Structure formats: C-alpha cells, structure tokens
Amino acid sequence: MSLALGFLFTYPLLTALWVPSGFSVDWDQHLAFSWVQYDTIWRFHQIPLWNPYKCGGIPGLGNPQDRILTPFTLLHLLAGPIAGLYLEVPLHFAVAWSGGYLLARVLGVSRLAAIGAATVFPASSWYALHATAGHADLLAFTLLPWVLVPALLAAECRRLSYTALSGAALALTFLDGNPYPTIYASLLMAAVLAAWALYRRSAWPLLVFGLALVFGVGFMAPKLLPAIDFMRAHPRPILHPEVNDYRVLGQLLWSRNQDFWLWPEVKWKWGFWESGAYAGLFIVPAIIGALVGGAAVLVWLFAGACMLLIWMGSHGPFSPWEILHHLPVFSIMRVPSRAIIPFTLTLAVMTGFGLDWIIKRTRRFGPAIALILIAVATVDCLLVVTPNYWYVVSKPESDVQPLPSDGFHQLSSAVPHHELNYARHNAGVKDCYEFTKKFPTAIKGYDQIYYQGEQYIIGPGTARLEQWTPNALEYDVDAASPSDLVIVNQNYDQSWRLARGTGQVFDFGVLPPGKIPGLPGFPGLLAVQVPAGHQRMELRYRPASVIAGTAIAVITLLVSLALWFVERRRAIGTLTPGR
C-alpha cells in the first residue's frame, strides 16, 4: 500500500524519468551530486570522496548536502543518476507511510485507523512542495517515524538494543539528507520522550533518548566527522532573525491552494515551498483525537506545541528558536518554517487516535465512517498536492555551449545553475551554488586570460598529466631546482597527500616558511613543492576523518550486535522451563 500510494501521489515524475529537470537550482544541484557519484563509482571505480566539478573542487562525502551514503545510492547506480533521483520521491513517500503505520500500531491504534494516520504525514503538501523545489536532502524527513518507533519500544520494553535501532534511523536522517532532518528528529524525539517519561512516571524514556543520540552519532560518524571539518573551513552564513506569524497557520494547513508559487498574505524571506503543510479533512479526526484521546495524546500535543513554538521563529530573546541558536549545530540553522514538518507527524498521530475513537465508539457504522473519511481525505490531498510535480517535468534542463574534449577543465564564465551539464561534459565550475556565499578560490578557468592549464610548474621545469581521476592525480614532473612548485588548478584541502613521489603538499596561500622568499601566494590553491630532478608524482585525496568515522561506526555496530545478543539470550533464558 505504501508503494502504491507513493507512486500514485508522485506519478508526474514517472513521465520523464530520464529527462533532467531545469525547474530549480536545487534540482540542478542534486542531479549534479547524483551524476558525480554515479560517474566516480562506475567510470573511475572510486568512492566519491572529492568532487572536482563543484566550486573549484570541494569534499564530496564531507559536504553535508551530498548524499553518497544514503541507501538510495544503489538505486542511482542501477537506474542512472536522473531516474534514480526521481524514483527516490515515491520511495521516500513509501518510507514515511510505512513508518507512520508502524508508529500508530505501536501506540495501540487499530489497523484501519493506522492507515489513516500513516497517510497524513507524506500526503501533506510539505512533502510535495519540498520535492518540487528539488530539496532531495530534505526527503530524509520521511524517516522521522522510524526514529520514534524503536525509541518508544525501547522505553516500554526496556530493551537497550532498540535504542541502537533508533540511533541507526537517526543516523540515516543525516546520511540520507543534511543536518535539518537530523536536528528536527532529535528535537521531536526529545519532546516526545520527555513527555512520555512524565506519562509513564519513569526515567527510562530519558535514558533511551540519551543512548539513541550516542548510537546515532556513532553510526553517522563516517559522514559527520568530514562534514565537521568542511563546515569549519567554510562556515555557513546565517540570515537576519526570521519570524513566522501564527495567523497564517490556517492557510498553511487548511487552504486547498497549495501551489508551489503561492505567496502567503504575510510574506517572509522564503517562498511557500518552505511553509505549506496541507492536511485537509484529516484535521477532523485529528481534532477528535486531541479531545478524546486520553492521557497518551497529551504527549503528542506537547510535542506538536514545541514544534509550533520553534516554527514561529525569533519572537524575542526567550523564544525557543533564539534559545536553541545558542547551542552547537543548531546555531547554523535557518528557515524555522521547516519545524512544521515534524508538527505534521504529531498531527498524524492525533488523527490515528481520532479515527480509532470513531471506530470503537460507533461499532456498527464506525469502521465504514472511518474508511470513507480516510478515502475522501486521501483523494482530496491527492488532488491538492500532486499537481505541483508537473512543474518539475515541465522545464527540462538545456544543454551548455561546446566545451573542450581533451580532458577535465575548470570553467569560470559558466551559465548559472547548469552544474549537471558541465559535469557531464567533464568541466568543473568555479562559481557554484552551495551553502556558503562563495568559496575563496584562486583557480582559473580555461576561458580566462591567465589560465595556465590544469597543472603547471612555477620554475624552469615541466609537469605533465599522466592520469586524472576525481580522487587521484598522477603527474610526470621534471623540476630544475628545489624551489620549483607544481600547481594544481583545484582548491586546496588538507586531505590531499602525496601517495607517490617526494615533495610537500600545501596551500599556495600559505607558503612553506623560508623556502621561496618573495613569491606571492594564491590562497586556496593546491600546490606541491618538489625537489630537483625527475619523478612520477601521485596526489591522492585521503581524509583521515573518513577512516576514523568508519572505525567509530564499526565499533558502534559491534556494540549494537552485542546488546542484541545479550538481551536475546536473557529473553530466551526467562522462557526456559525451570528457570
């Protein structure tokens, strides 16, 4: 059912699976990410650790918005980078629906009511609007129910191995997306488990929350550690304080006009694609559930209220949005409107409670009433949100001007927002779209007057390219003096190392002291000082943080398996006769 609804709600994307969308800059950005990963793996047989096509060369795995470690990468490798990204949209819908169904069942909701609760979260317009905008890194919000289900089971059953499952799901929100789904998943879990601790009068939910965070950090370490290095080197600019007006909530949740280009009456920095969360007729059972759901529903009312307070943004120094910005990681957050996404999940849970009450209170006609309400509300959401996907396929990305065919080249005067097409033509772009305003780079495009090639030597020697791959560069170098420098026309990163040959890798803007007096440097340019003589030199991109993160993830997995084994043995022991 989850797959059927996923493809039904997103069917316009299926009409152009292999046609790259030029509808938005975010579609171009994530299609380019997908193509670079696909090409690096299939053509060069390398892990996409470095992306030479973007901004003069930046980390691939370390980029918080790059999604190489998502399980859906396998889909991209099999179906191709364009079709793979399109197919992710219905499949993430299915992930959200199935997770919502399990969450409702864990909370004791009947099967029919759980179907209604499961539909609310992905059928809401937030999902279609963000997908239409090309926010592939925000599709990971669909994993929110999967973070909560094992956490609640761990709190109820007191099974520590379930906290590892919750941590794994939390890690997936980062591996499959960017920090936004992870941070909001953590905040939602904190609100739910804190309220659950009061509801059950037990400290176990708080212990579960802490352990889930520890396991989550451990599992996401292969991407988290290089991402931290990347963010330190390129801090994210934060906009002025952002404010949302609670008076527009009615329009966001109930108005049937959920068009991508709609601007609410109260305008703010971001468009409607960051705000809409249509729930339609599902609001009716949600209100019923909030009124008659009993003590358990208070947990979700509290969590929903917390998300709405965050959604309101900067309403004074004591508003949750401002207070949270004093904390690490959250300090780089913007767009408080995205808090409406986890709020929609709390609304879905209350919908489940309301439908369950209708089914049980009116035993003769209750199931029929609930079924009709679910069907009508689902069709209503389908009619309201699905037309947005036609925007994606209505504007194919146009090709770029002819480029040199004699190998990789950096380009300066690139047409904005055509990163996919330039990468497909084996060209990197100097000025690109990323989370920072501009990368400080001294690279030169082949179309610039002072361009000297993708590699050159400062001095009387020569440097000739022997082999080019994204993660490894091999040169034949003939240096005439010990002061000769080999310059690579890509951005410097501390993880570039000499795998073969003799020399010192450094940032050309920070010259080795006393080595080359009087020579002006160019900040951010990759350079190697080589000794006099002839050598075969190979540069490789080897981030130590990826190795350390992988080791941490392996240890976390071993601890999780040990917990599962111990608790399983203990459970079997309690069932053994005579014990």
Do the domain assignments include residue 185?
yes
237-270 tens-digit pLDDT: 776 678 888 888 888 999 999 999 886 555 556 7
Q: What are phi and psi of 500, to 5 degrees?
A: -155, 140
473-495 tens-digit pLDDT: 999 999 988 878 999 999 999 99
Residue 125 is predicted with a pLDDT of 97
Same domain, 349 and 460: no
Q: Which helix (H) or strand (E) holds 345?
A: helix 340-361
Q: Can you tell me the mean pLDDT for 19-24? A: 92
Same domain, 356 and 488: no
Q: How far apart are CA 398 and CA 20, in angstroms?
A: 9
Q: What share of the chain is helix, strand, coil (3-state, %, to 5)?
A: 55, 10, 35
Using the 3D structure, point to which of 364, 394, 424 is the last residue of a domain: 394
Residue 514 is predicted with a pLDDT of 44
Residue 498 is predicted with a pLDDT of 96
Same domain, 194 and 311: yes
How far is C-alpha 134 from the chain's CA centre?
12
CA atoms within 13 A on the CB side of 97: 22
Q: How far apart are CA 304 and CA 320, in angstroms?
A: 14
Domain hosting 500: range is 455-542
Residue 578 is predicted with a pLDDT of 45
Query: Which DSSP letter does residue 364 get?
Result: T
DSSP string, 412-472: SSPPTT-HHHHHHTTEEESS---SSS--------TTSTT---SEEEESSSEEEEEEE-SSE
How far is C-alpha 185 from the chain's CA centre?
12
Q: How far apart are CA 151 and CA 154, in angstroms?
A: 5
Q: Can you tell me the mean pLDDT for 109-114? A: 96
Residue 136 is predicted with a pLDDT of 96
- Assess whether pLDDT exceeds 60 at residue 224: yes
Give the number of other Cβ atoms within 10 Å of residue 332's Cβ.
Answer: 16
Q: 């609304």: which residue's tokens?
A: 347
Query: Which DSSP letter does residue 574 get?
Result: H
Q: How far apart are CA 159 and CA 543, in angstroms?
A: 36
Do the domain assignments include residue 95?
yes
More confident residue, 128 or 570: 128
Q: Can you tell me the mean pLDDT for 114-132? A: 97
Cβ(466)–Cβ(475) below 8 Å: yes
Do the domain assignments include residue 565?
no
Cβ(507)–Cβ(524) below 8 Å: yes
444-477 tens-digit pLDDT: 888 888 888 999 998 888 999 999 999 999 999 9
Same domain, 466 and 380: no
Torsion on CA atoms 312, 313, 315, 320, rounded to nearest 10: 90
Q: How far apart are CA 492 and CA 214, in angstroms?
A: 33
Instruction: State the pLDDT confidence band at 236, using cuts at 50, 70 and 90.
Output: confident
Q: How far apart are CA 247 and CA 275, in angstroms?
A: 13
Q: Which helix (H) or strand (E) holds 179?
A: helix 179-200
Do the domain assignments include residue 175?
yes
Q: How far apart are CA 471 and CA 37, in angstroms?
A: 12
Same domain, 356 and 473: no
Same domain, 390 and 470: no
Residue 500 is predicted with a pLDDT of 95
Do the domain assignments include residue 272?
yes
Q: How far apart are CA 211 and CA 331, in angstroms?
A: 23
Q: 């069709």: which residue's tokens?
A: 379
Same domain, 359 and 460: no
Mean pLDDT of the chain: 90
Do the domain assignments include residue 417?
no
Do the domain assignments include residue 554?
no
Q: 């699976």: which residue's tokens?
A: 17
CA-to-CA dists, residue 539 to 294, 310, 402, 496, 510, angstroms: 64, 46, 30, 7, 19
Give the number of other Cβ atoms within 10 Å of residue 199's Cβ.
Answer: 16
Instruction: State the pLDDT confidence band at 44, using cuts at 50, 70 and 90.
Output: very high
Do the domain assignments include residue 89?
yes
Q: 409-411 and 427-429: which strand pairing?
A: parallel
**Number of domains within the chain:** 2
Same domain, 382 and 476: no
Q: 485-491 and 455-458: which strand pairing?
A: antiparallel
Same domain, 375 and 479: no
Q: Can you tell me the mean pLDDT for 168-181? A: 96
Same domain, 390 and 459: no
Question: In 3-state terms, what secondary structure has residue 535?
Answer: strand
- Assess whether pLDDT exceeds 50 at residue 513: no
| CA angle (456, 459, 465) in 5-degree steps | 25
- Assess whether pLDDT exceeds 80 at residue 553: yes
Same domain, 374 and 479: no
CA atoms within 13 A on the CB side of 151: 34
What residues contact residue 483 under an 8 Å CB cut-off, 6+ apart? 459, 515, 516, 529
Q: Can you tell me the mean pLDDT for 90-97? A: 98
- Assess whether pLDDT exceeds 50 at residue 39: yes
Q: Any idea which of 64-68, 385-389, 402-406 has the lowest mean pLDDT?
A: 402-406
What residues contact residue 392 under an 8 Å CB cut-off, 6+ apart? 12, 13, 21, 23, 27, 131, 132, 134
Same domain, 166 and 245: yes
Residue 512 is predicted with a pLDDT of 54
